[in-house]
Amino acid sequence: MNKFVTFLFGGAIGAVGALLLAPQSGEKTRDMVADQANNIANNAQDMGAQVAEKVQNVVKQATEKGADVVDEAKDAAAKGVEAAVDKNDELRAKIEAARERIAKQVRENANETADAIKDAAPEAADKAKDAAKDIADKAKDVAGKAKDKADEVVDDAEKATEKAADKAKEATK
């Protein structure tokens, strides 16, 4: 987690540097950065919605399976009550078996749900990492362009300074 926070902090510093050194106007750069941030936010929201949808589907399936198990347990209990008059001990054994099946099924459903969530989480994390890498790459590109533009400005300033110095020498002659 600390590496990720450090990465985001570095990305933010890079973005600020890119804004300060951007070869285009600040407004255009801010618009570009805002558009990219919106794209990333939308991608993150889409990933979150996908994960939420998968979790809802898993929970729905688990609920349906649980309802089926409960229905089976109710049927078994009803049959057990009818047989209770003649076979009290046998009924207790059946009820206990039904409880164990229900508990086992609930555990299995819970494990399946947990596994499904575990399976979906790395995919969402990978997508978030990819989005962060894309941002870092774009920020690096912007910083490179800003550096190139700054180098051009420095070169132009040096040429202008030399030209002014030459004119000053000629004027003093």
Which pLDDT score, from 0 to 100, does residue 104 have? 92
| Between 141 and 173, residue with greater pLDDT | 141
pLDDT, tens digit, 9 for 90 and up, residues 94-133 = 889 999 999 899 899 888 888 887 877 788 778 878 887 8
Greatest CA separation for the chain: 131
The number of residues in the chain equals 173
* Residue 120 · residue 59 · CB < 8 Å: no
Q: What is the spatial distance between Cα 126 and Cα 8, in angstroms, rounded to a whole number?
A: 15
**Measured at the alpha carbon of residue 90, what is the angle toward residues 89 and 94, in degrees to the nearest 5?**
120
Name the region of 4 (left: φ>0; alpha: ψ -120 to 50; beta: rest): alpha
